[in-house]
Amino acid sequence: MFYKCTRIFMPRSEVGEVKSHYPIRPECQADAPKTRFKPRARKTLSPRRWQAAFTEDGHLDIAGVLKRIQRGGIHPSIRGEVWEFLLGCYDPNSTSNERKELRQHRREQYAAWKSECQKMVPVIGSGKIIMVPIVTEDGQPIKDPSINGGLAINGGVIPSSAALDKKMTRWKLSLPQIGLDVVRTDGVLVFYESEANQAKLWDVLAIYAWTDNDIGYVQGMNDICSAMIILLENEADAFWCFQRAMRKLRENFRSDANSMGVQTQLRALSGIVRVIDPKLHQHLEALDAGEYLFALRMLMVLFRREFSFADSLYLWEVMWAMEYNPQLFATYEGSNAVDINTADKKLMKQFGKFERNNLKTGKSDQKNALAVFLAASYLEKKHKQLLKKAKGLDDIVTILANSTSNSDARKELKKALNIQQKYLKKTKATA
């Protein structure tokens, strides 16, 4: 079965208020999470401030930009282009011409990958979405009686079995799952009433899955990618922004017979709660919840389903600004880690607030990511309720779900930073 799509675009005139940037379908208004984020004068990074942050040849004052984002997020009208810097698509020390050349190179690379995928599965780029299997587990084409008079198809081609190597089979098996996830992604938004936009999301995820030889596609990636599809009109640009986001997040999606990648963060969460709230940690262990699997979804997709769409974007950009580390870019690969004792003040300002704290304490690693402290703050906020009412894992999940439905992302981030300071203080005292 294929999902037919028609090309429709969001009006370019929808700028200004947050709601007009990410309008919600009328029939979903009552049940959709409330949006709390609003651009704030002299705090939110505005279009004027953003333009003023560039020198004449295009160098970006990243320190000033980070400071502004950490105070009040990014105005929706410039969010996509700012994210490209936050996620490392571009080096802030590059010029406008250098970025123009790099953007063109990446668009050409994406086009080449898309062409490669289209040769294997012509549905890609056609405005359609695959939602049923096209190959068996051993890579054999599946017959679809509704197409071509029952001929065996493989996304539109009929290759020999010998041509279906292990990578191709795994990839083709993932395509219908991507399709099923796509049609369920952010369904409350008017943007995804356009089937063309759904197809765009499916194409990007399908091509990413082909290029990621190790992990491929895992459910939850659609929640991350959706934001890039909405923020960046050009499909190739959206792909590269998502690809850079996955550099930060892809280990969360790693899974094998023995473990899941997100377990590293779950163990870090367990260690933090053990230090800051030992009584709660003991209670959770007694409920056989000591592995903190109830927080798996929160950490895997960065609280995407705990907030409204607009609040999620605000949450992510502030977290990324706080964790910003210029050494993570390709232009810095191979360079030595920053020595906090010798680094000058100008260099240190190019790091986010959270990352600077980690550098000072020698705890700059993924397991101490801000998202983990955010999860810990939710648990501490629900300390009394969890101790009194939680009798099992289902109770924990219900209590936490109720705590996030109307949460204020700005306040929650502030609490997370307080949790970090509390944790660092206690661990330092016991060191």
Nearest Cα neighbor of 226 from 300, 124, 103, 309 is 309
Topology classification of domain 263-430? Cyclin A; domain 1 (1.10.472)
Q: Are 241 and 228 in contact (CB under 8 A)?
A: yes
Instruction: Report how far residue 396's alpha carbon sits from residue 390's, in angstroms, rounded to the nearest whole number.
Output: 6
**What tens digit of pLDDT does each residue of 212-249 get?**
988 999 999 999 999 999 999 999 999 999 999 999 89
**What tens digit of pLDDT does each residue of 33-44 get?**
888 888 888 899
**What tens digit of pLDDT does each residue of 272-328 get?**
999 999 999 999 999 999 899 999 988 999 998 888 999 999 999 999 999 998 876
Q: Where in the chain are the domains?
A: 1-250, 263-430
Instruction: Evaluate the CA torsion angle 276, 279, 282, 286 in order and state its sign.
Output: negative
Instruction: Evaluate the CA torsion angle 251, 255, 259, 260 in order and state its sign.
Output: positive
Is-above-0.85 flag for pTM?
Answer: yes
Q: What is the second-level CATH architecture of the domain 1-250?
A: Orthogonal Bundle (1.10)
Tokens read off for 148: 């071509």
